[in-house]
Amino acid sequence: MRATLVRPTGVERTFDEDEIIVSKTDTRGVITYANDVFLRVSVYDEADVIGQPHNVIRHPDMPRCVFKLLWDTLKDRREIFAYIVNLASDGGHYWVLAHVTPSFDAGGRVVGYHSNRRRPNRDAVTAASALYARLAAEERRHARPADAIEASSRMLQDLLDERGQSYEEFVWDLTNGSAA
- Give per-residue pLDDT as tens, 115-149: 999 999 999 999 999 999 999 999 999 999 999 99
Task: Report pLDDT for 1.
Answer: 46
pLDDT at 89: 97
- Give the model's pLDDT for residue 4: 58
Quickly state the pLDDT bin for 180 (edges 50, 70, 90).
Answer: low
Residue 112, CA distances (Å) to 12, 46, 142 in order:
30, 19, 32
CA-CA distance, 144 to 67, in Å (whole number)?
16
Degrees, nearest 5: CA angle 61-66-67: 90
Instruction: Return the domain boundaries, the chain.
Output: 21-175
> Does the pLDDT value for residue 29 go beyond 90?
yes
The CATH fold assigned to 21-175 is Beta-Lactamase (3.30.450)
* Residue 101 confidence (pLDDT): 98
